[in-house]
Amino acid sequence: MTGPLMCRVDPSKRNSGGSSDMTPRLSGFPEFEPTGRIIELSILDQARRVFELHGFASIETRAVEPLSALQAGGETAKEIYAVSRAADRDVEASIGLHFDLTVPLARYVIEHSHDLDFPFRRYQIQKVWRGERPQEGRFREFTQADIDVIGKDSLPFHHDVDLALVMLELLAQLPIPAPVLLVSNRKLAEGFYRGLGVTDVVGVLRCMDKLEKVGPDSTRNFLTDVLGLSQSQADACLALSRIETPDESFIAQVQALGVRDPMLDAGLAELAAVIQAGAGERPGSIRAALRIARGLDYYTGTVYETLLSGMPQVGSVASGGRYDELARDGRTTFPGVGISLGVTRLMSVILAGGNVQASRAVPSAVLIAVWSEGQRSQSNAIAQQLRRRGIPAEVSPSDAKIGRQIRHAERRGIPFVWFPATEDESDSIKDIRSGIQTPADAAMWEPDAQDLWPRVSSTTVTGV
Amino acid sequence: MTGPLMCRVDPSKRNSGGSSDMTPRLSGFPEFEPTGRIIELSILDQARRVFELHGFASIETRAVEPLSALQAGGETAKEIYAVSRAADRDVEASIGLHFDLTVPLARYVIEHSHDLDFPFRRYQIQKVWRGERPQEGRFREFTQADIDVIGKDSLPFHHDVDLALVMLELLAQLPIPAPVLLVSNRKLAEGFYRGLGVTDVVGVLRCMDKLEKVGPDSTRNFLTDVLGLSQSQADACLALSRIETPDESFIAQVQALGVRDPMLDAGLAELAAVIQAGAGERPGSIRAALRIARGLDYYTGTVYETLLSGMPQVGSVASGGRYDELARDGRTTFPGVGISLGVTRLMSVILAGGNVQASRAVPSAVLIAVWSEGQRSQSNAIAQQLRRRGIPAEVSPSDAKIGRQIRHAERRGIPFVWFPATEDESDSIKDIRSGIQTPADAAMWEPDAQDLWPRVSSTTVTGV
């Protein structure tokens, strides 16, 4: 229970859904209280809706993959969780928990290639696991929401543009600081390094990927002392990495560095297409940022990262790119482009911000009071009438004094208490926020739309 | 790719969403193709809706628990998957994947007891893992949908009745053979054995739980030879287990066996309350079945299992019961009652049946044709207009000949193709099922409600 993410809630606010608790008693494995889960569910629901409106089909893959497939990437090998039956602990485990949704997607596409129609547009919202050291914004178990488009043999470039816009459309709906999607292109960087006369292009890519962590001086030293670049080559690499523009002016800035290469030109044209479309559709939320490299080797073109305004320390909340050879099956190659949204990282930002609320801790809009245990069936019947008309309702768990039953509703943020008819009075409903009580008929009564289901709202507008 | 669950799809039917494939290339870890996933999502959506209409709040717990907690139950210890960082394989793992959602719930309730309001009504839909031998209806990774109500110190009995009705309400909406919820009561069985003069009551409970597996003769032998019951005691136990009634007549049948015990009477009364309410609300789908024991030790009262009519070999699709001491925290006891729906087992029944279809393989209701790559932005703008009005749409991935673009829609089951305006013609939309093409305006056009999203339907009505 330490660290900036563990925003314990002021008990006086808790029941209004004022905020929620993220309690990694097992370090790196966050869990939410019901109000936090309502906020998470609203993010997941919005993600699903945006993805499905854009024609992405849902899939889920199993949680485990062969260790050999998981470890093929190299860099994350030591973070993989191996899985073995507790009874056979001496047997070497051969499977592990997936650490992303891209490795499983590649395997799924190969296994189902004869049954899928390409280009295959899929979204996938699942937990992934990485045994890294827990720290701010990093977890050992977290939820990702991925969209990818996978082609067979080829995949038109316009999908690189589309995916950026879909993810920005989703991000713009969430109660988070304004997102800025930073885009670069592997061809641009690789072509630039080649045009510069660099031989170890992959080495420079990896080195530049660490620029933000280690700073420009160490990067320059590594480029010259370890990778053997000249001072002017190293300067040019660093100059390239400093280019960041909201429009296509990055092209002139790159050209001013005096490097010429056909692959560089291809990269500049691709990046320009993404930035141009983004500036038209989502002005201010997309930028060319040539320092973006993405460490993983399989990217071959567009690369994306997404920062939240004023929160660079959180890191990227949505990352991905183009991989021209995601999977290969004999003679067939499956190129793809994808972006992965870090849902748990967004949740950590939202909960730490403390300005996003769920309107209540339970789905119920109405608590049906119970006059006595002998009359519970009367209350049950009213609840069922409401539910059949789509109104979430629960029945008081006890026939305690009415004041206690009302407090039961208050503690959960349930806005209405229903009083079943008695010999003297007809059915009535009380809005316990205003105290106003009115006669009501369970076959007719409707709450205001905003009271029907728990709502998630933000006290300050931080989004775009 | 063997066994009755692996219903490979006739390729001619696949694209109409005719059925789906369950492909456990890693044995016991099922995955669905997109049409199968649409069916699964519709089950999960219905579960969520029914649970939330009844006021259950969603939670998720981490996938892992301490091995010590997982192994406390005993019986399933050898099925637990241990998890360890691949890099530290020599270090003894101390965590494992949860094998149900009840052990995690107990831990969650203890950890959050000061922040939750009791009785706490929660639902939880997550994957669980069991390293058992895969066979029909049994998986190593599967999805459960659990509802539980947890009290603090006490929990009124009426929740045992409520939970049975909530689960039956959900099951009645699903495209499955008619469900029959079988209910018994631990107090009834335990009181009966006590009243019979049995000393090893737990031993008899465990033995009777295996009755359906081993048959009456072996059970009788075990009761007499191993547990030391007399022939008449064993006969009485078997007679009790044969009692199954759709109404409260089980009481007279038990009493006719001539055993008297206060705990037996308490159990009879509780079971009668569940059966009476069920017969009123869901006639024909709830029965008292005194053979139901449930192997796990923590049940203390009501126990539930659910069979599908005509499919006893599938086993129970929804099971649970009352546990008066689910969790304990110093002086505080948390009693609970819950039922767990086996979503993956239901999916295996549905896919093997072959009579449940998704209307298409993708969310898109409309494919926007593209006249040429230079005019793609015109098609994108139409798609965005439709999406903003809640209509799922995708844009043709290429500017291939229109016939090919229509076949792209056909293969996915997308019902409509939109033709953007040209110099000569205004926008129009074609229903590719009927071939009828009409002028359309992207600011106004609406599909029939039944075509808006993929629908799941059953060719024969098998539910209640």
**Could you write out the three-class secondary structure of A56-112?**
CEECCCCCEEEHHHHHCCCCCHHHCEEEEEHHHCCCCCCEEECCCCHHHHHHHHHHC
Q: In Å, how far is B404's CA from the nearest CA of chain A?
A: 13
- Residue A2's pLDDT is 26
- Measured distance CA(B6)–CA(B351) in Å, rounded: 9
Residue with tokens 């209004």: A16
Residue with tokens 């399989």: A298
B372 in the same domain as B352:
no
- Measured distance CA(B456)–CA(B451) in Å, rounded: 11
Helix (H) or strand (E) holding A288: strand A286-289
Burial group, residue B448, by CB count within 10 angstroms (0-12, 13-18, 19+): exposed
Q: Are B253 and B290 in contact (CB under 8 A)?
A: no
Q: DSSP of A312-326, one letter per residue?
A: GGG--SEEEEEEEEE
Chunk chain A into consecutive blocks of 10 residues (it has 464) and report each block's average pLDDT, rounded to whole numbers: 28 35 68 96 98 98 93 73 76 83 96 95 97 78 98 96 97 96 96 95 89 93 96 96 97 97 97 94 95 81 96 93 90 96 96 94 98 96 98 97 97 97 96 97 97 91 46
Domain membership flag for residue A270: yes
A238 in the same domain as A130:
yes
B177 in the same domain as B308:
yes
Domain membership flag for residue B94: no
Residue A212 DSSP SS3: helix
Domain membership flag for residue B288: yes
B346 in the same domain as B424:
no
Q: Which residues of chain B make contact with A14, given a CB cutoff of 8 A?
A: 115
Whether B53 and A398 lie within 8 Å, measured CB to CB: no
Domain membership flag for residue A462: no
Omega before A119 cis (within 30°)?
Answer: yes
A409 in the same domain as A298:
no
B283 in the same domain as B190:
yes
Q: How many C-beta atoms lie closer than 10 Å to residue A242's C-beta?
A: 12
Whether B79 and A96 lie within 8 Å, measured CB to CB: no
* pLDDT tens by residue, B217-272: 999 999 999 999 999 999 999 999 999 999 999 999 999 999 999 999 999 999 99
Domain membership flag for residue B95: no
Q: In Å, how far is B51's CA from the nearest CA of chain A?
A: 9
Mean pLDDT confidence for B101-121: 95
Last-in-domain residue among A307, A339, A357: A357
A231 in the same domain as A124:
yes
SS (H, E, C) chain B: CCCCCCCCCCHHHHCCCCCCCECCCCCCCCCECHHHHHHHHHHHHHHHHHHHHCCCEECCCCCEEEHHHHHCCCCCHHHCEEEEEHHHCCCCCCEEECCCCHHHHHHHHHHCCCCCCCCEEEEEEEEEECCCCCECCECCEEEEEEEEEECECECCCHHHHHHHHHHHHHHCCCCCCCEEEEEEEHHHHHHHHHHCCCCCHHHHHHHHHCHHHHHHHHHHHHHHHHCCCCHHHHHHHHHHHCCEECCCHHHHHHHCCCCCCHHHHHHHHHHHHHHHHHHHHCCCCEEEECCCCCCCCCCCCEEEEEEECCCHHHCCCEEEEEEEEEEEECCEEEEEEEEEEEHHHHHHHHHHHCCEEECCCCCCCEEECCCCHHHHHHHHHHHHHHHHCCCCEEECCCCCCHHHHHHHHHHHCCCEEEECCCCCCCCEEEECCCCEEEECCCCCCCCCHHHHCCCEEECCCCCC
Give me A434's structure tokens.
């205003």
Q: Are B319 and B306 in contact (CB under 8 A)?
A: yes
Domain membership flag for residue B253: yes
A382 in the same domain as A343:
no
B238 in the same domain as B126:
yes
- Residue A88's pLDDT is 66
Percent of chain B with pLDDT over 70: 90
**Which one-letter DSSP state was computed for residue A226?**
I
Total H helices, total E strands in chain A: 15, 19
Whether A85 and B64 lie within 8 Å, measured CB to CB: no
Name which of A34, A86, A111 is nearest B67 (Cβ-Cβ): A86
Name which of B14, B56, B81 is nearest A86 (Cβ-Cβ): B81
- Residue B411's pLDDT is 96
Say what the pTM is.
0.92
- Has the ipTM of the complex gone over 0.85? yes
* pLDDT tens by residue, B382-403: 999 999 999 999 999 999 999 9
Whether B37 and A21 lie within 8 Å, measured CB to CB: no
Mean pLDDT confidence for B59-69: 94
Last-in-domain residue among B356, B374, B398: B356
- Measured distance CA(A18)–CA(A127) in Å, rounded: 26
Q: In Å, how far is A88's CA from the nearest CA of chain B?
A: 8
Domain membership flag for residue B464: no
Name which of A67, A89, A376 is nearest B158 (Cβ-Cβ): A376
* pLDDT tens by residue, B77-97: 678 999 988 766 555 568 999
Q: Which residues contact B35 (CB under 8 A, 6 or more apart)?
A: B14, B17, B18, B19, B20, B357, B358, B360, B361
* pLDDT tens by residue, B430-444: 999 999 999 999 999
Interface test with B, best of A21, A62, A70, A379 (most B CBs within 10 A): A62
B170 in the same domain as B32:
yes
**Which one-letter DSSP state was computed for residue A222?**
I
pLDDT band of residue B76 (cuts 50, 70, 90) is low
**Which one-letter DSSP state was computed for residue A231?**
H
Judged against a pLDDT cut of 60, whether residue B11 lies above it is answered with no
Look up the CATH number of the domain holding residue A314. 3.30.930.10
A78 in the same domain as A180:
yes
How confident is the prediction for chain B on average, in pLDDT?
Answer: 90
Last-in-domain residue among B356, B379, B411: B356
Q: Are B291 and B158 in contact (CB under 8 A)?
A: no
Number of domains, chain A: 2
B382 in the same domain as B257:
no
Mean pLDDT confidence for B345-358: 94
Mean pLDDT confidence for B281-307: 90
Helix (H) or strand (E) holding A45: helix A34-53
Name which of B21, B86, B363 is nearest A55 (Cβ-Cβ): B363
Domain membership flag for residue A458: no
Size of interface A-B (CB pairs under 8 A): 220
- Note down the domain range covering A96: 11-357
Q: Which of A201-205, A260-264, B185-189, B332-336 has the lowest mean pLDDT?
A: A201-205
Look up the CATH number of the domain holding residue B383. 3.40.50.800
Whether B361 and A117 lie within 8 Å, measured CB to CB: yes
* pLDDT tens by residue, A285-309: 999 999 998 876 689 999 999 999 9
